[in-house]
Amino acid sequence: MAEIIAKLIVPITSMVIARILSPEAFGVIATVTMIISFADMLSDSGFQKYIVQFEFPNNKKMLQSIAVAFWTNLGISFLIWLIIGFFSEEIAKWVGNPGLGSVIAVSGISLPLTSFSSIQTAIYRRYLDFKTLFYVRIIGVCVPLVITIPLALLGFSYWSLIIGTIFGNLVNAIILTMKSTWKPTFYYNFSVLKEMLSFSIGSLTEAIFSWFTSYIGTFIVSSAMTVYYLGLYKTTITTVNGIMAIVTVSTTSVLFSSLSRLQNDSIAFEKFYLKFIKGVAFFILPIGACIFLYKELITSVLLGSQWNEAIPFVGIYGLMSSVTLVLAQYCSEFYRAKGRPMISVWAQIFHLLFLIPILIISSKTGFLTLAYATSFIKIQQIIVHLCLMYFIFHIGPIVLIRNVWGALLGSTIMVGFSLLLNMMNSGSTWSVISVILSLTFYFILMYLVPSTRNDIRDLLNYIKFPGKDRFLVLFNRKKQ
């Protein structure tokens, strides 16, 4: 519920801010976010996952580990902030934005705030106290409504986004600390730290490569193109990913937890994965098709007229992202649930070997070339994951593609239906009506087929009643 509400509030905020601020301002924020997110990842060191996952022998050991994780995170975050502040101008030049050193230094305030909240969040997750995290999440996404937008209207440009982020992190830290039964204690033990690092090194490695995959484009574009095009590039990706997240955020955690319980039963594991992906494909693929068909409408509504140059990028990136999510991105959850996260790391390394040179070449040619290159490079990502699934887990590409064939065919038919609607009339109002009619046509078509109707029902049940389905999965295995 927190993520669903957040996905409704955040686009509304973005729609307002995108009409107030220029693409250049978003380009500055993209650079700052790239630096701060990397520093934040290093300060966390994978300790949050350690606290959530590790089975402690007793409560005393757990409290000691929490204290060590807390002070380590806080210490590293202050150290990194100090380094960023001291070399802020050099860092700004290095990422292609000279003169923004003060912006980067001030943004570093978020580092100790997020590290302060990180361990607190892990404790809540360990005890399944998602109700508290629900309130924190909602308050966090509402902060821009009362901080960022008013400051943007007053002419603070990118500073409005930075100040809004800092206040959001501060509010999170205060609320989590006030409501938590655990309070920081002055305890530290290097033996405990060593044990935690040995457990967390795999997660940290994967996080580092995930960061590189996500932000290497930002770094290359900031070095080769103007801050205006950096804003177009990063905001387009963020907007499309935000639309996809409506489905992915609410399903990924369910998939991982369910697969983890079945990791010792290969047949049930594979069967569950295929059925789950098949269900997700029924929602993701038509969304991607609609983004491609109605890219002008989506750009106009979510970003505004000053972002028109990003329209082709929105369309092709949305289409390719939907296919990649179904055939490649969820494979990472498959690897992790099998206890083999390094496979995901190797997949990202292979992707970077292709992504980096292609982005460097295309960014020197022009924004449109860069847009298509960024989108179509996802084909390589799909091929890599299909090969890994086949050679390591013996699940062939034909099996994976045939598994989502119904959604692919239905989305294709929907595209034809949409094109007919667009031939009948034009204009923004008709485009909105066409989107509604197209999606309605698609889901009626899918619901008329008995097999796809059952798959959609199963997916909705997994999301709506996770506890009930956990029991049913275990009961059915025991019964068999």
Tens-binned pLDDT, residue by residue, of the chain (480 aa): 766 676 666 666 666 777 777 777 777 777 777 777 777 776 666 677 777 766 678 888 888 888 888 888 888 888 888 988 888 888 887 766 677 788 888 888 888 888 878 888 888 777 767 777 777 778 777 776 788 888 888 888 878 888 888 888 888 888 888 877 788 888 888 888 888 877 677 667 777 888 888 888 888 888 888 888 988 998 899 889 888 877 777 677 667 767 766 777 888 889 989 988 988 898 899 999 999 999 999 998 888 888 899 999 999 999 999 999 999 989 988 987 787 878 988 999 999 999 999 999 999 999 999 999 999 999 999 999 999 999 999 999 999 999 999 899 999 999 999 999 988 888 888 999 999 999 999 988 888 877 777 776 766 665 555 444 443 444 344 444
Residues 55 and 155 both lie in one domain = yes
Residue 210 lies in a domain: no
Cα–Cα distance for residue pair 366/371, rounded to 1 Å: 9
Of 6, 3, 25, the residue nearest 231 (C-alpha): 25
Please indicate, yes or no, whether residues 241 and 181 belong to a single structural domain of this protein: no
Question: Into how many domains does the chain fold?
Answer: 2
Asked if residue 274 and residue 197 are part of one domain, the reply reads: no
Give pLDDT, residue 94. 76
Q: Do residues 122 and 165 share a domain?
A: yes
Q: Indicate whether 261 and 387 sit together in one domain.
A: yes
| Contact present, 450 and 313 (Cβ < 8 Å) | no
Asked if residue 187 and residue 301 are part of one domain, the reply reads no
Q: Which residues in 209-228 are b (16+ Cβ under 10 Å) and which e?
A: bebbbebbbbbbbbebbebb
Planar angle of CA 223, 378, 315, nearest 5 degrees: 85
* Integer Cα distance of 245 and 13 in angstroms: 16
Domain end position, chosen among 141, 168, 201: 201
What is residue 460's predicted lDDT score, i.e. its pLDDT? Answer: 64
Q: Tokens 């000053």 appear where?
A: 306
Assigned domain for 209 exists: no
* Nearest in space to 196 (alpha carbons), one of 125, 119, 129: 119
Q: Are residues 253 and 132 in the same domain?
A: no
Amino acid at 25: A
| Domain shared by 338 and 306, yes or no | yes
Between CA 480 and CA 12 the distance in angstroms is: 49
Tell me, yes or no, whether 300 and 168 share the same domain.
no
Dist CA 402 CA 386 (whole Å): 13
**345 and 308 housed in the same domain:** yes
Give the model's pLDDT for residue 472. Answer: 44
Q: Which of 408, 343, 352, 345 lies closest to 380, judged by CA?
A: 352
Look up the CATH number of the domain holding residue 116.
1.10.357
Judge whether 445 and 414 are in contact, CB under 8 Å: yes
Asked if 323 and 471 sit in the same domain, the reply is: yes
pLDDT at 162: 84
- State the pLDDT at residue 14: 67
In a domain, 215, yes or no: no
d(CA 201, CA 257): 21
Q: What distance in Å separates the CA atoms of residue 116 and residue 184, rounded to the nearest whole number?
A: 10
Side-chain half-sphere CA neighbours of 45 within 13 A: 23
Structural domain boundaries, residue 195? 2-201
176 and 290 fall within a common domain = no
Measured at the alpha carbon of residue 153, what is the angle toward residues 164 and 10, in degrees to the nearest 5?
Answer: 45
Distance CA 452, CA 441 (A): 15
Of the CA atoms within 13 Å of residue 172, those in its CB half-sphere come to 27
Domain assignment present for residue 214? The answer is no
